[in-house]
Structure 1
Amino acid sequence: MESEMLVRKDSKVIAVDGSRMAMFKNVGEAFAPVLELIEEHKNPSLRTSELGTDRPGRSFQSKSPSRGAHELTDLQQQEEDRFVTDVAQRIEQIVSDTKAGIILVAAPRALGVIRKHMNTETSARVLAEIAKDFGPDEAEPLAKMLANHEV
Structure 2
Amino acid sequence: MMLAKGTTVAVADGEKLNLFRNAGDEAGMQLEVLPRRTIENSAGTSGGHQSSSGNPDHGQADEDGFSAGIVDYLNQQALSGAIDGLVIIAAPRALGEMRKHYHKALTAQLKGEIAKDLTGHSMTEVESAIASA
User: Which band: TM-score by shorter chain?
Assistant: 0.7 to 0.9
Question: TM-score with structure 1 length normalisation?
Answer: 0.71
CA contact (8 A) 1:95 1:102 kept: no
Aligned length: 121
Shift of 1:41: 4.2
Name which of 104, 108, 118 aligns with 1:124.
108
Flag structure 1 segments of 5+ consecutive residues without an equivalent: 44-55, 58-69
Shift of 1:136: 5.9
CA contact (8 A) 2:11 2:88 kept: yes
The one-character-per-residue Cα deviations of 1:90-110 (angstroms, maximum 9, x if unpaired) are 010122232511111111111
Q: Which structure is richer in relative contact order (CA contacts within 8 A, separation 6 or more)?
A: 1
Aligned to 1:84: 67
SS of 1:118's equivalent in the other structure is coil
The structure carrying a bigger strand percent of its residues is 1
Q: Map 1:2-151 onto structure 2 (within 5 A).
A: 5-41=1-37, 70=54, 72-96=55-79, 97-98=81-82, 100-135=84-119, 138-149=122-133
CA contact (8 A) 1:20 1:136 kept: no
CA contact (8 A) 1:9 1:27 kept: yes
SS of 1:129's equivalent in the other structure is strand
CA contact (8 A) 2:9 2:86 kept: yes
CA contact (8 A) 2:83 2:109 kept: no
Calculate the aligned-residue CA RMSD, in Å: 2.3
Question: TM-score with structure 2 length normalisation?
Answer: 0.79
Rg bigger for which structure? 1
Q: Percent identity?
A: 28
Q: Which runs of 4+ in 1 moved over 4 A?
A: none
